[in-house]
């Protein structure tokens, strides 16, 4: 037997196993119990590793190192109270110390920028270290870690890449073929079948384990589904349980090929970069979509950027000006098995997918929530904040008022000017300016 024949048999056997035990069951939405068995073994292994680490670390060391977890302790009192102990009635040079202290706190670690970095873990998951600097490494723990690296890179990674390639290929081919059919109910059903099947295959490529709650509140046609945003795979997570019309900017490369194929079979709403800047045009196209009750619900992530699975940041009001019924959805990933957050300013898409595919698994909970409509006398901003609060409470996430655009942009001058105005009002209120005029 020559090398080419041997390689052919290996590839044939590999594809047969993938097709028979993973691909077909995932395409039909059934499980043979392999994923469940893998998760049980994984949970037991991580529990064992945690116990080994805890036994090797003294309680004093754990308490000492645990103090470093989380943001620094800071005084949250208002400016008036913070400056009362540093100054007299008029302006004093010592006021500089207060603003210097606040500035250093913000630079070291503030509540906004820490949402754009990976969530820290309480214990080691055999993937990455945490803020707690464990010094104890036993030979058994090292062997388990090495075995885990071999399993993740030599077994899981090739398997996941194969499944992802098949899923994406089927999606492009399937949507292109369905797109050739005339508009009809048959075309819509086939399009939904292609999207569901291919997304299930791609989720299986991530060893995804998804727990859906309150399925009676799943988004309905003619509505708008809004959810918190952690990763591009949020779309796969939701589409595994139901189809949506996507809204987003036109991309190039592989993503562009997928977008052009998908829009042929389903009325997704893709915008050119120049169109995205025209808010009225975007609103009008979305309003036309939801006016047709036969079309799939629109899926929108109002934050506009990925947040690290700990918080929900400001929802942009555009999605809530359209009208119609809003179907809130909360998504919460379990960071113990893998980091789903995409830090787009640090990793490109290929690097991110490599990190995800070499993690243990993607495990998350999805909560469908009762539909919400805009109340009488409520403007779009108030409605957006009400929906955001509901999602944050359901997902156990921290609610923050900040714009996620701060991930790439500098703080707006208006925020800085607001602090300057507050300080000026204090001086005026204390009579310093009046005394100067006198």
d(CA 317, CA 302): 8
Rounded to 10 deg, the angle between the 157-178 and 349-357 helix axes is: 120
- Nearest one of 333, 398, 329 to 365, comparing CA atoms: 333
Q: Strands 269-271, 245-249: parallel, antiparallel or unpaired by DSSP?
A: parallel
Length of the chain: 438
At 208 the three-state DSSP class reads: strand
Task: With beta carbons less than 8 A apart as the criterion, state whether 268 and 247 touch.
Answer: yes
N-term to C-term CA, the chain: 104
pTM: 0.77
Q: Which tokens is 58 given?
A: 């003294």
| pLDDT value for 237 | 93
- Nearest one of 323, 302, 308 to 389, comparing CA atoms: 302
Residue 26: other Cβ atoms inside 10 A:
24
| pLDDT value for 433 | 39
In Å, the largest CA–CA distance within the chain is 104
User: Which residues is 248 bridged to in the sheet?
Assistant: 270
Q: Strands 208-213, 269-271: parallel, antiparallel or unpaired by DSSP?
A: unpaired
Q: Which tokens is 292 given?
A: 């047709």
Task: With beta carbons less than 8 A apart as the criterion, state whether 99 and 91 touch.
Answer: no
d(CA 170, CA 199): 10
Instruction: Quote the mean pLDDT of the chain.
Output: 78
Write the CATH number of the domain with boundaries 162-407: 3.40.1130
Q: Can you list the residues of the chain whose pLDDT is less than 50?
A: 59-72, 86-88, 131, 431-438
**Tens of pLDDT along 13-71?**
766 766 666 777 766 667 777 778 888 898 888 888 888 777 765 544 444 444 344 44
Q: Report CA torsion sign: 27, 28, 29, 33.
A: negative
| pLDDT value for 136 | 55
Q: Rounded to 5 degrees, what are φ and ψ at 91?
A: -65, 135
């Amino acid at each position: 037997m020559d090398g080419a024949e041997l390689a052919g048999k290996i590839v044939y056997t590999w594809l047969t196993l993938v097709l028979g035990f993973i691909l077909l069951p995932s395409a039909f939405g059934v499980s043979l119990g392999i994923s469940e068995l893998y998760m049980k073994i994984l949970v037991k292994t991580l529990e064992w590793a945690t116990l080994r680490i805890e036994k090797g670390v003294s309680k004093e060391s754990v308490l000492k190192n645990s103090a470093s977890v989380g943001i620094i302790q800071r005084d949250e009192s208002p400016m008036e109270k913070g400056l009362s102990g540093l100054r007299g009635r008029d302006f004093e040079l010592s006021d500089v110390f207060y603003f210097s202290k606040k500035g250093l706190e913000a630079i070291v670690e503030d509540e906004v920028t820490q949402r754009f970095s990976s969530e820290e873990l309480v214990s080691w998951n055999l993937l990455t270290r945490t803020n707690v600097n464990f010094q104890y490494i036993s030979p058994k723990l090292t062997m388990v870690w090495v075995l885990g690296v071999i399993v993740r890179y030599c077994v899981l990674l090739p398997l996941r890449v194969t499944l992802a390639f098949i899923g994406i290929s089927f999606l492009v081919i399937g949507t292109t073929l369905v797109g050739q059919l005339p508009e009809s109910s048959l075309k819509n059903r086939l399009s939904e079948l292609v999207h569901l099947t291919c997304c299930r295959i791609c989720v299986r490529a991530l060893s995804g384990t998804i727990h859906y709650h309150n399925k009676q509140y799943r988004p309905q046609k003619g509505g708008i589904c809004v959810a918190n945003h952690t990763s591009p795979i949020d779309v796969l997570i939701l589409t595994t349980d139901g189809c949506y019309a996507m809204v987003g900017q036109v991309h190039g490369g592989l993503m562009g090929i997928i977008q052009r194929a998908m829009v042929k079979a389903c009325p997704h709403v893709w915008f050119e970069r120049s169109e995205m800047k025209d808010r009225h045009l975007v609103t009008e196209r979305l309003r036309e979509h939801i006016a047709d009750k036969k079309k799939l619900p629109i899926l929108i992530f109002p934050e506009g950027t990925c947040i690290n699975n700990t918080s929900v940041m400001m929802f942009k009001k555009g999605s809530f000006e359209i009208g119609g019924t809003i179907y809130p959805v909360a998504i919460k990933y379990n960071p113990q098995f893998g980091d789903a957050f995409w830090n787009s300013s640090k990793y490109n898409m290929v690097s991110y997918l490599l990190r995800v595919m070499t993690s243990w698994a993607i495990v998350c909970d999805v909560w469908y929530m009762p539909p919400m409509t805009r109340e009488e006398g409520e403007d779009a901003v108030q409605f957006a904040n009400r929906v955001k609060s509901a999602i944050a409470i359901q997902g156990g996430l921290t609610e923050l008022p900040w714009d996620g655009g701060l991930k790439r942009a500098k703080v707006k001058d208006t925020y800085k000017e607001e602090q300057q105005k507050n300080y000026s009002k204090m001086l005026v209120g204390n009579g310093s300016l009046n005394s100067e005029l006198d």
